[in-house]
Amino acid sequence: MAIACKPKVLIADEPTTALDVTVQKEIIELLKELQKDTQMSILFISHDLTLVSELAHRVAVLYKGELIEEGETAALFKTPKHKYTKALLEARPSLDGRVKRLATVKDILDGSYSDIKISLNERAIVHKRIYTKAPLLKINNLHKTYWKNSGLFGKKEAIKAVDGVSFSVFEGETLGLVGESGCGKSTLGKTIMNIELATDGEILYKGKDITKLNKSQIAAMRKEIQIIFQDPFASLHPRMTIGQAISEPIAVHHPGSSKTKRKRQVLELLEQVGLEASYFYRYPHELSGGQRQRVGIARAIALQPKLLICDESVSALDISVQAQVLNLLNDLKEEYNFTYIFISHDLAVVKYMADQLIVMNAGKIEEAGDADEIYANPRKEYTQALINAIPKGIERL
Ligand code: ADP
Ligand code: MG
């Protein structure tokens, strides 16, 4: 639509931020081709540095409303002058090795960051503890089929969003789930939450099949399994204060609790997710994306769940805020021994977070195993393609 009038200048404001890497790559290729054909100029606005490094001839860096650095792309990435630019370059999860905490821009600017690595040995010890117990969640041959009107003689067409999936999730682990958009990740998450009803198969939570629970049993289970979405703005009521939003699930599940007690709980939760008490009276539109995501996390952990499903929870955030939220999720996990199913289309992020990894393709599991192992030696072409599609601009330079 934007190029229909043959523009001389195209302003592309985060055009691929919500897309997975493979689709993103196609859009970038398309933009490059269009530019070659039409000779238009592109102002490409993005928080994703790797992407910028692959596309732009020149880069300008904005910090607090000021243009702090500008230059030819390769030179700017190779020898950034401003310390903010340097910090931005360091804040993305690295693909080799695992650091305990991701660097945020603030850490780097303060000089307070240390890139302590998690050793293979440490990981092995943790895994030994996690994987010797019985699984917390066991999915057996799960199917979720949607029916779509195909328009032909009133016929219905089946969309097998989840198509015979089996896997286990162990207490205290982070299970990563990756795949292109539309491969069925969110449907899988929603089916586990019982937001969508399974078409067939079993979802055993602590050994009980949750597809066969009655209403009150489902309510009890809801407390233990929570979901954090990509866009907390969509799930926060615009006219409810942050305080009301976080206390809502507590009020629903503990109707006897007093208002003052609930407020105390909410204030504690705010502190845990790194928000000041004054946010209690604020409204969602007064918050930044990162702050809203913290509210989404506070709401999800309000009932002290065991299993948290993070569905693209950091996909809309810029690199530095993404690092903060990922660090927060890992801190909370340590503190409360949460179990995560971490869903993302960004393999670099999933690889950083996950113990085990499941690669999904068209509703089915393509391959599954240790996250580092799969990244190092993908057995399937599909996985290889996902890995290849991670923008590697900066490393290449
Ligand atoms: P992902 O989260 O991996 O991007 P989704 O689980 O959202 O994928 O979607 C998987 C498939 O199911 C897609 O083909 C999508 O169009 C379809 N789908 C998802 N939700 C519905 C729905 N409510 N009705 C019909 N089809 C749906
Ligand atoms: Mg999704």
CATH number for 312: 3.40.50.300
CA-based max dimension of the chain:
67
Q: Tell me what pLDDT residue 184 has.
A: 95
pLDDT at residue 20 in the model: 65
Using the mean position of ligand 2's atoms as its centre, give its distance from the Cα of residue 200 in Å.
21
Check whether residue 285 and residue 196 sit in a common domain: yes
Cα(378)–Cα(374) distance, integer angstroms:
5
pLDDT at 255: 85
Q: Which of 142, 148, 159, 196 to mutate to test the pocket of ligand 1 (most atoms within 8 A of CB)?
A: 159
Please name which of 286, 298, 209, 200 lies closest in space to residue 249, comparing C-alpha atoms: 298
Question: What's the number of domains the chain is made of?
Answer: 2
The single residue listed with the structure tokens 């089996």 is 166
Q: What is the mean pLDDT of residues 113-142?
A: 91
Which of 82, 109, 136 is the last residue before a domain boundary?
109
- CB under 5 Å of ion ligand 2: residues: 185-186
Sequence-separated (6 or more) residues with CB below 8 Å from residue 112 = none
Q: Return the closest-CA partner of residue 192 out of 177, 173, 172.
A: 177
- Average pLDDT, whole number, for the chain? 88
Label residue 149 exposed, middle or buried (CB < 10 Å: 0-12, 13-18, 19+): exposed
Mean pLDDT of 359-388: 94
> Average of pLDDT values for 345-366?
93
Q: What is the pTM of this model?
A: 0.85
Which residue's CA is the closest to the ligand 1 atom numbered 14? Answer: 182
The CA 181 to ligand 2 mean position distance, Å, reads 6
Q: What is the domain range of residue 87?
A: 9-109
**Domain contains 1:** no
User: Is 22's C-beta closer than 6 angstroms to any atom of ligand 1?
Assistant: no
- Residue closest by Cα to atom 21 of ligand 1: 146
Which of 109, 142, 169 is the C-terminal boundary of a domain?
Answer: 109
Beta-carbon contacts of residue 164 (< 8 Å; ≥ 6 apart) = 141, 142, 143, 201, 363, 364
Check residue 158 and give its pLDDT. Answer: 92
User: Is residue 306 situated within a structural domain?
Assistant: yes
Do 101 and 193 belong together in one domain?
no
Same domain, 98 and 138: no
Question: Cα 188 to the chain's mean position, in Å?
Answer: 15
Is residue 163 a part of any domain in this protein?
Answer: yes
Give yes or no: residues 103 and 131 share one domain.
no
| Local confidence band at 256 (pLDDT 50, 70, 90 cut-offs) | confident
Quick one: which atom of ligand 1 is closest to the CA of 343?
2
